[in-house]
Amino acid sequence: MIKDFFKENNIEFISEVNLRDYNTYHIDSKALGMVFPSSIEELVTIIKYLKENNINYKFLGNGSNVILSKEYYDLIFIKLDKLNNYKVEGTTVIVESGVSLIKLSLDCAKLGLTGLEFMCALPGYMGSSVAMNAGAYNSSIGDVLVSAKVLNDKLEVITMTNKELEFKYRDSFLKHHRDYICLEATLKLEKGNPEEIYELMAKRQTKRIESQPLEYPSAGSVFRNPEGLFAGELIEKCGLKGTNINGAEVSQKHANFIINKGGAKGEDIIKLINLIKEKVYDKYKVELILEQEII
């Protein structure tokens, strides 16, 4: 029934999809299906159909900040990868939700626009990254975002200002209102020197390669940094580097990374997360807050 609907409406759909290549932990998991709308109109059509037929669904960005906890999901994942255009108007950049942050930062550097250097290390897409207020190097999307075009819970396209989006550290209004979906972000940048921008990005990339376990599947930083502290340092001081549960391992290179050394399931990563939280709290009375999302 579902396949027929998407075929009749000429919407790309994968049935019984394997999610291994859609999450950066490379966890083996499957789902009822995955759909790729190519326009806002198609997206609205999809959501209406799924709601009318009581079919569960969830949006998935680049899968770079998620932990798949189940081996099978009886739901449809919606991917906005095809909404991947952006346009530059002076120092204003209007970006659709499926645009890669890394690509955008490099393209803006080439144009001599500064403000997105922090994105050169972020593997996510714009829409999901706005929702979590993604960031690095003490900068985040909320610092440069003017407004966002959002599909609300009534399936109306509205514009929300920076203030209305209530940005906080790795947090926003959208993160707590999952029926509001970011479709497009308007960013305000500044003119800069392309050579200086590239130099800064190159330094950060070198530092990233030296300090992060990029050779293994992971989903970046596991925990938020507590105020005035570093999560990785607390974890390391608890002697947890190298701790392994069925292939899920606390990185020897950076203790705030959990890597998949091979065959790890979502439940193994979650067990390791809970162990880390317990040990850090026992020793320092600090409650680590998960930055990644457990699905």
Domain residue spans of the chain: 2-78, 86-196, 213-294
Where is 13: in which H helix or E strand?
strand 12-18
**Using an 8 Å Cβ cutoff, are 54 and 9 in contact?**
no
Over residues 2-52, the pLDDT tens digits come to 999 999 999 999 999 999 999 999 999 999 999 999 999 999 999 999 999
Q: Could you report the per-residue pLDDT of 123-174, keeping only the tens digit for each? A: 999 999 999 999 988 899 999 999 999 999 999 999 999 999 999 999 999 9
Average pLDDT over residues 216-221: 96
Q: What is the pLDDT of residue 242?
A: 97
pLDDT at 121: 85
Which of the residues 42, 96, 249, 291 is marked catalytic? 291
Pairing between β-strand 92-96 and β-strand 86-89 as defined by DSSP bridges: antiparallel
Cα 26 to the chain's mean position, in Å? Answer: 15
Is the confidence at residue 241, as pLDDT, over 90? yes
- Averaged confidence pLDDT in the chain: 96
Active-site option among 128, 129, 170, 249 = 170
State the chain's maximal CA–CA distance in angstroms: 59
Q: Which tokens belong to 218? A: 């992971």
CATH class of 86-196: alpha beta
Task: Indicate if the pLDDT at residue 263 is higher than 90.
Answer: yes
Distance CA(127)–CA(130), nearest Å, equals 5
Amino acid identity of 279? K
Same fold, 2-78 and 86-196: no
Alpha-carbon gap, residue 116 to 103, rounded angstroms: 11
Give pLDDT, residue 12.
Answer: 97
> pLDDT tens digit string along 88-98?
999 999 999 99
Whether residue 291 lies in the annotated active site: yes
Which of 128, 172, 218, 221 is an active site residue?
221
Sheet holding 244-245, edge to edge: 244-245, 248-250, 258-260
Which whole number is the average pLDDT over 209-219? 94
Per-residue 3-state assignment (H helix, E strand, C coil) for 281-295: HHHHCCCCCECCEEC
- Catalytic, 221? Answer yes
Whether 55 has a pLDDT exceeding 90, the answer reads yes
Domain 2-78: which CATH number of 3.10.129.10, 3.40.50.300, 1.10.10.10, 3.30.43.10: 3.30.43.10
**CATH label, 213-294, candidates 3.40.1350.10, 3.40.190.10, 3.90.78.10, 3.30.360.10:** 3.90.78.10
Is 249 annotated as catalytic? no
